[in-house]
Structures are given as C-alpha cells and as structure tokens.
Amino acid sequence: MIAVAVDEDVETIRGAADGITYPILIDADHVVTELYAISNVPTVLMIDEDDNIVQPNWSAYASDTFRELTGINSETQMDHIRAWAKVGTLRMSPEDAKGAVHDLSSEEEQARLFFRIATRLRNDGDAEGAERNFVTAIDLAPHDWTVQRAAQPLRGINPFGDAFMELYTAFNEAGRPFHGVTGH
Amino acid sequence: MANNDIVMLEGGPLIDPAALENALGWALKPEGLCKDDTCVIVHDRAALMSGDRVDVTAVASLIDRPAAHDATSDLVAIGAPRDLRRAAINDMRAPDFTLPDLDGLPMNFSDHRSKKRLLVAFSSW
C-alpha cells in the first residue's frame, strides 16, 4: 500500500501516521490528481506487478465514518481489496475498468495548474496572489474536491464547517460528478 | 521522471529559446521541436515566437501539455504530458511519479514495481 496525501499539511498527516509502516507521500502540488484524473478523496486504485491498473479510481473507505453520507459499507470494500491481494480476484472486468474514468476537462486541467500557482504564491507569502489563483481554480472546477475543498484550509476556511455543506449541496445538485467508480 | 514533468516558471511565458530545453526538456532546432531522438515538426514557427523570445505556453500546446499563466505574478505552470493520464485511463497503465515521504525523502512509485500496489489518495481536509 502506498498512501498519497493530497495535502501540504505534513504535520497533520504525520500525526495520523503513528504506527503506520507503509509509505505515506505528500503531494502538495497535486501531481497524482493530474496524472490519474482524481477528483476526490479517498480514491483507491489497485495496480498489479506490471504497472497495469486493474481497479481504476474507486471511491473506497477504510472505515464507516462517512457511511451515513455515502451508503458505502467499508467492510465489503475491504473484502474486495483482500481478495485481490491474496488471490488476484478482480472487482471489475478489464472491459468495464477501461473507460471507467473520464478524462479531465480542459477546465479541470487548468484548475489544477492555477491551484499549483496559488500554492506557490502562498508559500512565497503572497496571500493576495494565492487567493486570486485559488478563486480562479475553483471557478474552473467548482465540483472538484481536490480543488475547492483542498483549497479551504489554505484559504483560512474550516473545511469541516458551513463551507463543507455548501460544497456538498452544490456537488449533489451537479449530479455528484466523480472521475471514477463508486459502490461496493 | 524524478521531476514529475511538471514545471513552474517565473517571469512570464516569453523566454529565451536557449532556455527552452532546460525548462521543458524540448529544444527548438532547425528540424523542429526536439527531445532526445524525437522531433515534432513545427509548421508555423513564427506563431511560437514573440520577437526573439519563445512562448512556452505555445510550445506546451504543441507537445500536448496544459499551461496556465497568472499575469499578475507572471508565474507559468505547465502540467504533465496528457499522454501520461491517457495511458492511465485508456490503456490502464499506471504513470510513475516521485513524491517526498514524511521525512522529505523522495520516493518513486516505480520503486515498488513487481509488487501489487494499493494506491490510496487521501487528505486531512
């Protein structure tokens, strides 16, 4: 297992990493969300010994924390992961897996680049420039959680407060757009 | 792929053509836009230029990479080649990447090749 934090908050991630032995990587520039067309977390992929993606972007949970919101039973998902790890059972047929993830739109690509510029300006101490570029990124991809929600803590907004419900409502109204597959 | 193929440039999109190879890995040569043994024919070289400067966002477009320019800060971000993401979603081939671990040490996804890997994107937000 390789965990990628779509995050720049190394200390918070470190605090949650106590006792974990698998690699945890920090992706402050959102490289992986660009390369794999990831639009929300948690997103899980199963990749075989030869670099083939046998389970593309999958909204899978290690616990039932969000079960009320998602209706997803994490234990069933964990069973799929264990079956693949032990005996190679695939959750999706290769035919279904191919094309299960839609490519990013040009707006979603641009949003990732403006997010990157915003992060750079924030690190340089240019709060105004950072905010300008975060807003540009959010306007381009308003329902992409790796853009709007990831920006909230960096913009001084509590990602677990009112802003969450506003985003969640807008996301539902937009038909829950997700680059990948959901379900057990 | 140690640099993840993403680029951030200061000073706007118009750069010295001599700096292009260092910035993007591709150089403007008489035969076209070249990287190692590969060259892309440039049909309209003038469209890439502004005076004696080359527009990196126009070059990025030619080699199928996205680019964004914040005019106020003059930062230019250039994304990864779109081919890498298409390989993931159309050909089911996992693109490699390099990221720092919690101690800041770089790790390649490909360091774990020949094992089954569960790749989990998560966050604190």
Asked if residue A177 has a cis previous peptide bond (ω within 30° of 0), the answer is no
Asked if A24 is an interface residue toward chain B (Cβ–Cβ < 8 A), one would say: yes
Answer yes or no: do A116 and A42 share one domain.
Answer: no
Answer yes or no: do A92 and A113 share one domain.
Answer: no
* Residues 96 through 125 of chain A touching chain B, CB cutoff 8 Å: 97-99, 101-104, 106, 109-110, 112-114, 116-117, 120-121
Give pLDDT, residue B1. 40
H or E segment and range at residue A45: strand A43-47
Domain that holds residue A135: 106-173
**Cα(A117)–Cα(B76) distance, rounded to whole angstroms?**
8
The full set of domain ranges for chain B reads 7-82
Domain boundary among A97, A130, A158: A97
**Cα(A107)–Cα(A135) distance, rounded to whole angstroms?**
13
Confidence of residue B3 (pLDDT cuts 50, 70, 90): low
CA nearest to A35, candidates B10, B96, B123? B96
Tell me the percentage of chain B whose pLDDT exceeds 70: 98
Look at residue A181 and tell me if it is in a domain: no
Answer yes or no: do A34 and A65 share one domain.
Answer: yes
Q: pLDDT tens across A21-51, in order?
A: 999 999 999 999 999 999 999 999 999 999 9
Look at residue A180 and tell me if it is in a domain: no
Q: Does position A179 have pLDDT exceeding 60, yes or no?
A: yes
Mean pLDDT of all residues belonging to chain B:
94
Q: pLDDT tens across A72-122, in order?
A: 788 889 999 999 999 999 999 999 999 899 999 999 999 999 999 999 999
Answer yes or no: do A54 and A78 share one domain.
Answer: yes
Answer yes or no: do A112 and A89 share one domain.
Answer: no
| DSSP, residue by residue, A116-137 | HHHHHHHHTT-HHHHHHHHHHH
Answer yes or no: do A169 and A136 share one domain.
Answer: yes
pTM, 2 dp: 0.95
CB–CB of B121/A38 below 8 Å? yes
Q: Identify all chain A residues contacting B99, using CB atoms and an 8 Å cutoff.
A: 4, 25-27, 31-32
Residue A146's SS3 state is coil
Confidence of residue B2 (pLDDT cuts 50, 70, 90): very low
Cα dihedral A106, B88, B91, A92 sign: negative
Look at residue A184 and tell me if it is in a domain: no
CB–CB of B92/B50 below 8 Å? no
The whole-number average pLDDT for the span B36-60 is 94
Look at residue A36 and tell me if it is in a domain: yes
CA nearest to A46, candidates A100, A1, A5? A1
Give pLDDT, residue B18. 94
Task: State whether A12 and B124 contact (CB < 8 Å).
Answer: yes
| Structural domains counted in chain A | 2
Q: Is the ipTM of this complex over 0.85?
A: yes
Give pLDDT, residue B4. 72
User: Residue B28 corresponds to which amino acid?
Assistant: L
Answer yes or no: do A110 and A168 share one domain.
Answer: yes
Parallel, antiparallel, or unpaired for β B38-40 and A43-47? unpaired
CB–CB of A109/A39 below 8 Å? no
Task: State whether B6 and A116 contact (CB < 8 Å).
Answer: yes
Look at residue A151 and tell me if it is in a domain: yes
